[in-house]
Amino acid sequence: MSRKIIVLDTTLRDGEQVPGAKLNVQQKIEIAQQLKRLQVDIIEAGFPASSAGDFQAVQEIVRSVGDTVSITALARAVKSDIEAVYESIKLAQNPLIHIVLGTSNIHVEKKFNRSKEAILQMGVDAVKFAKTLLPHVQYSTEDASRSDFEYLWSTIEAVVKAGATMINVPDTVGYAVPEEFGDMIRRLNDRLKNLDDRVVLSVHCHNDLGLATANTLCAVRNGADKIECTMNGLGERAGNAALEEVVMALKVRENAYQCYTGIQTSELLRTSRLVSHLTGLDVQVNKAITGDNAFAHSSGIHQDGLLKDKQVYEVMSPEDVGADSMELILTARSGRHAFKNAVEKMGFDTRDAEDFEKLFGQFLALADAKKEVYDHDVFYLVTSHRTIAPSSTRLYELASFQVISNDQHPTAAVELRMGAETLKGSAVGDGPIDALYSVIKSLAGLDVQLKDYKINSLSRGKEAVGRVNIRLEYQGKTYSGRAMDTDIIKASAHAFLNGINAALLDSAQN
């Protein structure tokens, strides 16, 4: 009989730890709502003790989707962290406290400089405290794959006796290989089932050796009932197991694994694009499941085979992951109804009439500039519109700009607005973008360093929309900004301002 695998998505916690992937509250809510449409079982919404901003974001996510999706957040094994998690998630229907503490010698001796017994006791005390607050507690044995097996088991046994309801076994540094990891999970599972078969065994794999998906699947085959993943495999260093890969492997090869998930797979591509758009981190073109080329067939032999029968070269159909081949092309004359239909087809809510009118106005402006508006454009239009920072915060807006490009002295003049204040200036640079960014930087008066600038065309045709992604550094932290427009200089200005605004918002929240 097929076994249900619980899917925890940690894009908003482990994924957001990626430098430059910092999201504001509104963006986190947008992703959480899409994760709800994707039907993940649990959302790990953040690490509330890390900052006031993170705490508030977790609370807002609970308000937005906590009535239907289980919400968890991370705590170290200390009271103040656990209290912060409890306070931020307590209003969710099904809240779960997640505690992490290392079990490997390196963690116990080098990170904590304490004895193994003392660390084990610290974990037990943390679980006992968490249980006074909520019934569901997950305990993560950080760096489990490099831990002494018997000590790892003693920890699990002790925290289960203290009340932990889920045991998560992380391959924190991506050191495990599938056979070895699977074997460890099988042994832990055997003992855990004997100890208390109501406790859920979970895995959390990192991708340092490119094995996160393989290790996760091997763990499932060996008894794990829950998996922790991120969209697009985002996460610390080389990232986490990619949700889309593990889920589709379980679906396409259900005969091999005898397991299934509750994921609405037709939402995968949309979720991947939303996360990529909001974090500014591109998905590689040949990425399994969600890369642009994942369903593109270029060789003549393959195309010939596909025309005869799709199964000749496809193990799943594009529709399974939401890569719908039926695309509607909108124009300025399509009207409200067709536009509304396209927005709703993407899963976005259009019930707020005032908000929809604003969105429709933006659509008309885009359609005038671009003539043909594709699904891609509509998607980015809605997500950009919905993730504007709260108006109460004093942020920079672009009022006007002029850029002159030549091989002598490229020059930019810019007018910015911040609340009622207007700032004007001009600068010369090595090129038009350099001039533009110099003047914006001096008007904002912030010592930001541009680290990365990328421009892509978003859709087809000569009227394609340009999407600009930038990364900048401010006070030792990395922020990203992105924007799209048919005018790439304007998109560049907006992207840079969005990066500066992200830095300002972060400083205001923390």
Determine if 16 is a binding residue for ligand KIV (CB under 6 A): no
CB of 13 to ligand KIV, least distance (A): 8
Closest contact distance (angstroms) between CB of 154 and Zn ion is 23
Q: Which helix (H) or strand (E) holds 276?
A: helix 268-279
Q: Using the rule CB under 6 A, is 170 a contact of ligand KIV? A: yes
Number of residues that bind ligand KIV (CB under 6 A): 10
146 vs 467, which CB is nearer to ligand KIV?
146
Chosen from ligand KIV, Zn ion, none, partner binding at 320 (C-beta under 5 to 8 Å by type): none
What string marks each residue from 171 to 200 as x (binds ligand KIV by CB under 6 A) or -? -x----------------------------
Binders of Zn ion in range 11-30 (CB under 5 A): 14
Query: Is the Cβ of residue 141 or residue 501 nearer to ligand KIV in the bound state?
Result: 141
- 14 near ligand KIV, rule: CB under 6 A: yes
**Rounded-to-5 percentages of helix, strand, coil across the chain:** 45, 20, 35
Q: Is 488 in the site for ligand KIV (CB under 6 A)?
A: no
Residue 11 binds which one of ligand KIV, Zn ion, none, with CB within 5 to 8 A depending on kind?
A: none
Enclosing H/E stretch for 156: helix 149-161
305 by Cβ neighbours in 10 Å (0-12 / 13-18 / 19+) ranks as: middle
Write the Ramachandran bin of 143: left for phi over 0, alpha for psi from -120 to 50, otherwise beta.
Answer: left
Mark 70-89 with x for binding to Zn ion (rule: CB under 5 A) and - for no binding. Answer: --------------------
> For ligand KIV, which stretch binds (CB under 6 A), given 165-173, 193-201, 241-249, 451-459?
165-173
Contact status: 204 vs ligand KIV (CB under 6 A): yes
Nearer to ligand KIV by C-beta: 72 or 271?
A: 72
142 sits near ligand KIV (criterion: CB under 6 A): yes
State which amino acid sits at residue 243. Answer: L
* 172 vs 469, beta carbon nearer ligand KIV: 172
Taking alpha carbons only, the member of 112, 244, 107 closest to residue 170 is 107
Measured distance CA(241)–CA(277) in Å, rounded = 20
Touching ligand KIV, residues 62-91 (CB under 6 A): 74
Q: Which stretch binds ligand KIV (CB under 6 A): 166-174, 195-203, 406-414, 441-449?
A: 166-174
Task: Out of 100, 184, 346, 464, name the contact with ligand KIV by CB under 6 A.
Answer: 100
Query: Is-contact 49 81, C-beta < 8 A?
Result: yes
For the CB of residue 70, give the shortest distance to ligand KIV in the complex, in Å.
16
CA angle 58, 63, 64 (to 5 degrees): 95
Is 245 a binder of Zn ion (CB under 5 A)?
no
Q: Are 216 and 229 in contact (CB under 8 A)?
A: yes
φ/ψ of residue 402, rounded to 5 = -145, 130
Smaller CB separation from ligand KIV, 72 or 276? 72
Closer of 181 and 496 to Zn ion (Cβ)? 181
Among residues 140, 271, 279, 480, the one that binds ligand KIV under rule CB under 6 A? 140
Name every residue whose Cβ is closer than 8 Å to that of residue 255 and which is 6 or more positions away in sequence. Answer: none
Residue 76, SS3 per DSSP? strand
Q: Residue 399 and residue 366: Cα distance in Å, rounded?
A: 18
Task: Choose the one of Zn ion, ligand KIV, none that binds residue 226, judging by a C-beta under 5 to 8 angstroms depending on kind.
Answer: none
Phi, psi of 470 (to 5 degrees): -125, 155
Closer residue to ligand KIV (CB): 57 or 73: 73
Query: Residues near 188 by Cβ (< 8 Å), separated by ≥ 6?
Result: 152, 153, 156, 167, 169, 201
Return the residues of window 170-199 that contact Zn ion according to CB under 5 A.
none
Q: What angle do CA 128, 130, 135 make, to 5 degrees?
A: 100
What is the DSSP secondary-structure string of 177-242? -HHHHHHHHHHHHHHHHHH-TTSEEEEEEB-TTS-HHHHHHHHHHTT--EEEEBGGG-SSTT-B-B
142 contacts which partner out of Zn ion, ligand KIV, none, CB within 5 to 8 A by kind?
Answer: ligand KIV
Q: How many CA atoms lie within 13 A of 419 on its CB side?
A: 4
Binding site for ligand KIV (CB under 6 A): 14, 74, 100, 140, 142, 168, 170, 172, 204, 206
Binding site for Zn ion (CB under 5 A): 14
